[in-house]
């Protein structure tokens, strides 16, 4: 059969294939300047326990793992910090223990901190590590106890073993990323006596991003970004400066689980982290959409608005 003998249908298929191929090519080309810009740059990604909501755990994990591996393979240095609040509550329920909260913080007695440690280091952490390592030998799971990474102290006697970060000792992270591994960090810390504390993963992600001078700090959560009105899905804030976020906090617009994220974002961008992002972890490949496309997605936080929009590729930045 010669080319001229193709049926009209075959031509239509060929055209459709051609359009799909050209779209794929343009997506890859659009990513090029970002790949160059972010090569060698460190990105701390906090994966919230709630980001798993809205899709089956397995799918969400597999998609997240693909994004992290792709970032790593194009030369970025991703670091994953994870929480596991819903998973801790689930094991407590199985053990017949009622979770109790005070001002949004889990009251953590000796038994509860044991449960938190089992869930974070024994369940959530190896799930993330395994999902990433489906694609190669990349991820290494650690907790804040390893090499004294997270030093903590009790926040408030009434809360039990809920810790505040006193110090980040990032040597173990530097070691792992220099060896091209992807650290996956469970947010258990310890004090100087070796007592374990459960620490808010949002706070840890920000503290680690600052300690290692990360380019970006990214929160994957269960909402499309910061809203000016929590009840109004159309009120997404696309960009905000640290000062603007301080005002939103003062006005009470930032509530609940968003408070530690926003506090960490503002602190981080004022302390050397270039950009912070709050993204919807339920959107497939949301990390790739943020990092490698012109449009970006979710809420982006920067120190000052009058900087050039550095998430746009710089003209002539290819040299």
Binding site for ligand ADP (CB under 6 A): 48-51, 83, 202, 221-223, 226-227, 230, 253-258
Residue 15, CB half-sphere, CA atoms under 13 Å: how many?
7
- Which residue's structure tokens are 């193709």? 6
By C-beta, is 31 or 107 nearer to ligand ADP? 107
By C-beta, is 197 or 219 nearer to ligand ADP? 219
Nearest to 282 by CA among 83, 60, 108, 69: 60
Nearest distance, CB of residue 187 and Mg ion, angstroms: 11
By C-beta, is 133 or 200 nearer to ligand ADP? 200
By C-beta, is 225 or 257 nearer to Mg ion? 257
Q: Residue 311 is encoded by which pair of tokens?
A: 């998430």
253 touches, from ligand ADP, Mg ion, none (C-beta below 5 to 8 Å by class) = ligand ADP
Long-range contacts at 101-107 (CB < 8 A, ≥ 24 apart): 102/158, 102/159, 104/256, 104/257, 104/259, 105/155, 105/159, 105/162, 105/200, 106/159, 106/162, 106/198, 107/158, 107/159, 107/160, 107/162
Nearest distance, CB of residue 22 and ligand ADP, angstroms: 37
Nearest distance, CB of residue 187 and ligand ADP, angstroms: 11
Nearest distance, CB of residue 122 and ligand ADP, angstroms: 19
190 touches, from ligand ADP, Mg ion, none (C-beta below 5 to 8 Å by class) = none
265 touches, from Mg ion, ligand ADP, none (C-beta below 5 to 8 Å by class) = none
By C-beta, is 170 or 257 nearer to Mg ion? 257
Q: Residue 176 is encoded by which pair of tokens?
A: 């792992």
Q: Tell me which residues touch Mg ion (CB under 5 A).
A: 257
Cβ 162 vs Cβ 110: under 8 Å: no
Task: Return the bridge partners of 154, or none.
Answer: 163
Nearest distance, CB of residue 56 and ligand ADP, angstroms: 17
143 touches, from ligand ADP, Mg ion, none (C-beta below 5 to 8 Å by class) = none
> Which residues are CB-neighbours of 69 under 8 A, at least 6 positions away?
132, 135, 136, 138
Nearest distance, CB of residue 85 and ligand ADP, angstroms: 6
């Amino acid at each position: 059969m010669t080319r001229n003998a193709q049926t009209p249908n075959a031509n239509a298929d060929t055209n459709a294939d051609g359009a799909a191929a050209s779209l794929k090519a343009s997506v890859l080309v659009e990513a090029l300047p970002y790949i160059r810009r972010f090569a060698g740059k460190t990105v701390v990604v906090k994966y919230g326990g709630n980001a798993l909501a809205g899709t089956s755990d397995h799918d969400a994990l597999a998609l997240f793992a693909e994004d992290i591996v792709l970032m790593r393979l194009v030369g970025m240095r991703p670091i994953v910090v994870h929480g596991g609040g819903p998973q801790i509550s689930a094991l407590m329920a199985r053990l017949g223990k009622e979770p109790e909260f005070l001002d949004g913080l889990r009251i953590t007695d000796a038994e509860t901190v044991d449960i938190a440690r089992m869930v974070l280091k024994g369940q959530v952490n190896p799930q993330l590590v395994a999902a990433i390592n489906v694609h190669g030998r990349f991820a290494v799971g650690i907790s804040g106890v390893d090499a004294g990474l997270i030093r903590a102290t009790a926040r408030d006697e009434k809360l039990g073993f809920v810790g505040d970060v006193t110090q980040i000792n990032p040597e173990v992270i530097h070691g792992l990323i220099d060896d091209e591994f992807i650290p996956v960090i469970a947010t258990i810390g310890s004090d100087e006596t070796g007592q374990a504390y459960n620490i808010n993963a949002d706070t840890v992600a920000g503290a680690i991003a600052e300690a290692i001078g990360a380019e970006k700090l990214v929160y994957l959560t269960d909402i499309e970004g910061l809203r000016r009105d929590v009840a109004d899905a159309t009120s997404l804030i696309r960009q905000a400066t640290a000062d603007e976020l301080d005002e939103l906090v003062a006005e009470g617009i930032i509530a609940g689980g968003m408070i530690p994220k926003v506090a960490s974002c503002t602190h981080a961008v004022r302390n050397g982290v270039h950009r912070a992002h709050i993204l919807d972890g339920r959107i497939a490949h949301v990390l790739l959409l943020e990092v490698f496309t012109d449009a970006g997605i979710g809420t982006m936080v920067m120190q000052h608005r009058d900087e050039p929009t550095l998430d746009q590729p710089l003209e002539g930045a290819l040299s």
